[in-house]
Structure 1
Amino acid sequence: MLSPSYPVLTERLLLRPITEQDIDPMLEYKSREDVVRFVPYKPLSREEITERVAGIWSRTELNEPGQAICLAVEERATGRLIGDVVLFWHSAEHRSGEIGYIFSPAVSGQGYATEAAAALLRLGFEDLGLHRIVARLDERNTASARVAERLGMRQEARLVRSEWFKEQWSTGLIYAMLDEEWVRSAWR
């Protein structure tokens, strides 16, 4: 079980449960085709974001495998919402999980995605006791691949044209990290 003490703080960021106040700031980036082109949903409307905030994005703890927590990411210095992240708990038996992240293009290239994803790895490995965490991404999403690599995750698989995704075949990459690699990580 994972029941984080919120907010989760990093050097420059604050990760916390998503609230209704996040709807309009999220709309600014989640409604953009260029931002969501590699995630498994189309650009979202205000109504769709509102529905998700009240539903699947409202979980604040993980009680059993198959669940996920989505967290808003704020700049600590300004209080501005700059993105959101997700931690999935896939299996108790295999102690496995997955991370994901999406950020406003306004903060691209500033290392925020890497810093927030490192906080998710910490939650997964140190608080939930996971053995293995993966990041799955589209090969064309080179920015996301760089985040995984900066975290010290290793590319384990390249699944050539493996999924019909947004009206075309997509080649998927799987990056992974084990708990013993996390212990040696500079992000720990």
Structure 2
Amino acid sequence: MRRGRHTREQEVDPFYDMLFNMLIAFVFCFIIALLAMNPKALKTGDIPSKAEFIVNLSWPDLNPDDIDTWVQDPAGNVVWYRSREAGLMHLDRDDRGLAQDVIVVNGREIVNPLNQEVVTLRGIAAGEYTVNAHYFESKDGKPVEVTVSVIKVNPRAEVVFYGQLTLARKGDEGTAVRFTVLPDGSVGNVNTLAKTLVQRL
């Protein structure tokens, strides 16, 4: 009885079969790991944000008027509502008075009474900073008293400036504070000398 010839292709080696299955499993795990990563963070090299200084601008609760914060850094970069990131500065909160301050929770309307804007400086850039308040929109035509604070966060919280200014009418701009950050992160030359930022843009 004549037996058929066995070709190399017909032979099955369990060792190679096991290696192939392990390779498939490895590739599958690699693809899953890639999908689990944040591609945006990999592309931009983002790191968790931190603050060196916090600039806080507020005006009376439930006031309907829109006051804007403008901050200029030593390089001439200006952060404001149309440029929320400039240099190492970030406008973290842009408040428009009572506009968009109503939210619905469980069918009930809740009004957020706070009027507050926040700018963070997320690094040390030596030189002078200017913080201005701008009376952008008026709903009642009345003057608005604005409170501004600058807090140095690291290595411990320290109030660099706390003060108030009054904006009389729509369109008014006032310098709340100018301060100089030294190379070691300390602050000097805190003053309120007027400097216009709004009309320059």
TM-score by length of 2: 0.30
- Higher Cα radius of gyration: 2
Q: Which structure features the higher share of strand residues?
A: 2
Q: Which structure features the higher share of helix residues?
A: 1
